[in-house]
Structure 1
């Protein structure tokens, strides 16, 4: 369906307001937000960007006010994961393409260009029906005011001020995305990591190293109106990690620029973890740059993220990502390549610096039965080099002979077939 110029303009305005308020992926709208960004320039073009077609799926982008909408996704697939030296794991997996979830979104027009809005969203395990977190509304629980002239203010559990997650052509799902596993670097315990916890975000960079979480609880955010293609989002999250030693969890800024098929973003975050031995707060600086070009029949994306732990002997990781989407009617092909390199990773026994790098590849195919129903196939691998120990699905690495340390230089593969339904 091709929107009229007026409808397209309304959709763009709603999208850009939403994108400015999130500067990232609202996880029922992984692709819709990309479309918003890429259509921000104004008048309808002859060839609409491919991602724009996903706008109609989500209630928060539809026209009209004074409404409350329920939405969600059920996504299930058969998954196979194999790590060198360990038996293969076969399971029915929830969230192979989209996170299975249930959400409520509402807004009210207060007049004068001011709207009140709220969002509640919970992730679900579609294979068992269980909730996936200790708090029910783990994906969103916020209230806010959106002004046409003054920008958007939100309070509560919301998306962080990071690079938009749709920069990853697989949406950074916590299952079939090499960007998720390598950018978060959920590394296994070995002599080259902190040596404290068996699994941790970027823990090879130092004890207390952390990562920007997709959603930040107890957060305050402000997003400016978009001017000449630019907007900016500021976030401050006091005590969001609920630990007594640290009064601040996340301080961040992200700015985005849109012009026709072009989209760009830059972000800077300070996130705080804790040293598991001393209990001291540890700061990790996370910076990112990203760009997308969407010509309608071809989508290209690129990004670079850097994580640097601000402690003595702290490490630094740089993650380079490339992505490609080729849509042809109901058929959509996706490919991504991600490389993680590090400096400052140390053997915790000798304190000597060691090499640690990993390469990830993921290929995917979608067949869209309708705007809300689709089938998908995924296949990928992660190849670790030197001291790196990143694997898919938190699969436990085999141990070195006669040691409690994980084997190094391991390759892990994954494949999945599944189906999703949006409502």
Structure 2
């Protein structure tokens, strides 16, 4: 009996040693800030606690299994939540990322599932708004240009050749119906970027198609430069939309399934700016362009300051015959965004920040209360683990 027990123990030890290259890592961010906003929309307080000032709070799991011969299995699941209440960030979007993949030293990496799209990847990896944080969660015009930032049912291929990185994205968009058809989940695109630690440059093109065949075509190009404590960047992005004639002629609401990707038409920036003044409906957008530029400087190992500007413009197809709203074909609207951030790191994982921002609009776009100007400021604390 003792010999049998010893044999089982030896077998178990040898088996676990053979499979000991698997790892499961729990990670997350908890971020909360107190924010003041001028000209707040009706029903919204000017003073609020936001559940994520610089970063959205999240809890994630990374799984890596080394299968030998340079081959690894990868899994990522990431849940977003509101740090002020503990609630799920979105009732219909519990897992913001959920994908499985394979990585090889020879062929690169393949991922299957819900994940970030290539527009989000190029913005955050190559010419991020701020060096220590890829964007301001509470104020992020560039993410409004990134076609919802994530897609379902995606197959993504990633490869690296020295300092050159490439990504290909394809998603089928199956299962969409009704208003869900407006979400840009049928996509195809390509990203190429270069980064040597000092100079970065990249570009991406992504096309989304909804069930009726209407399309969005998004293009992003940009550069960045890092020299010791200094980081500077500049980029150009454009979203071009097919005309939604059914919606424009009937004047129906923005929930129409014929309104392609209204999540991207509806605002210059996610959750910040209201849609066009007609019935909260911004289907009358032909093309939207954004120039982004800014700089971050590390004054001390713990203290960073940075400023950023986003200059945006959109042109209109022309909407007539709707009481209280009309645009001339080829006319344009503008929105300019400015923000500055001071960040102090108490440790490698915990930092505090002070942020100020200002928004100005012109043309057939305004805040939901009709205001064309808005200022904001927030003080927050963030911990990463």
Which of the five TM-score ranges fits, normalised by the shorter chain? 0.7 to 0.9
Of 86, 108, 125, 1:129 maps to: 86
Matches within 5 A, 1:16-415: 65-83=21-39, 89-135=46-92, 137-162=94-119, 163-166=122-125, 167-169=128-130, 171-180=134-143, 183-184=144-145, 212-224=147-159, 226-239=160-173, 242-243=176-177, 249-273=186-210, 280-311=212-243, 315-328=286-299, 329-349=301-321, 350=326, 352-353=328-329, 354-389=331-366, 391=367, 396-398=368-370, 410-415=372-377
Equivalent residue for 1:189? Answer: none
Q: SS of the counterpart of 2:142?
A: helix
The alpha-carbon deviation at position 83 of structure 1 amounts to 2.1
Q: Which runs of 5+ in 1 are unaligned?
A: 1-63, 185-210, 275-279, 399-406
Distance 2:346 2:223 in 1: 29
* C-alpha distance in structure 2 between counterparts of 1:288 and 1:365, whole Å: 27
Q: CA deviation at 1:314?
A: 5.5
User: Contact 1:120/1:137 (CA < 8 Å) preserved in 2?
Assistant: no
SS at match of 1:371: coil
Residues in 1 aligned to 2:114 and 2:315: alpha-carbon distance in whole angstroms: 33
CA offsets, 1:267-316, max 9 Å, x none? 00112357xxxxx3421100000111111210011111001113378611
CA contact (8 A) 2:54 2:135 kept: no
Note the residue ranges of structure 2 that are not aligned, 5 or more in a row. Answer: 1-19, 246-283
Greater C-alpha Rg: 2
Q: Is the 8 A contact 1:219 1:240 kept in 2?
A: no
**In 2 relative to 1, CA 128–240 (structure 1 residues): closer, same or farther, beyond 3 Å?**
farther
CA distance in 2, matches of 1:260, 1:371: 21
SS at match of 2:118: coil
Which is worse superposed, 369-378 or 305-314? 305-314
**1:297-354: per-residue Cα shift (whole Å, max 9, x none)?**
1001111100111337861111000021101221010100010012235344445233
Q: CA deviation at 1:177?
A: 3.0
Q: Look up the SS of the partner of 2:177 in the other structure.
A: coil
Cα distance, 1:174 vs structure 2: 3.8
* Alignment deviations for residues 344-365 of structure 1 (CA, whole Å, 9 cap, x no partner): 3534444523320111100010
CA distance in 2 between counterparts of 1:116 and 1:135 reads 28
Q: Which has the higher contact order (CA 8 A, sep 6+)?
A: 1
Label 1:241 to 1:397 Cα distance change in 2 as closer, same or farther (>3 A): farther
1:379–1:71 Cα change, 3 Å: same
Report the TM-score, using the length of structure 2 for normalisation. Answer: 0.75
Cα RMSD (Å): 2.5
Q: CA 1:116–1:137 in structure 2 vs 1: closer, same or farther (change >3 Å)?
A: farther
| Equivalent residue pairs, number | 311
Kindly state the Cα deviation for residue 176 of structure 1 after the two structures are TM-superposed. Answer: 2.8
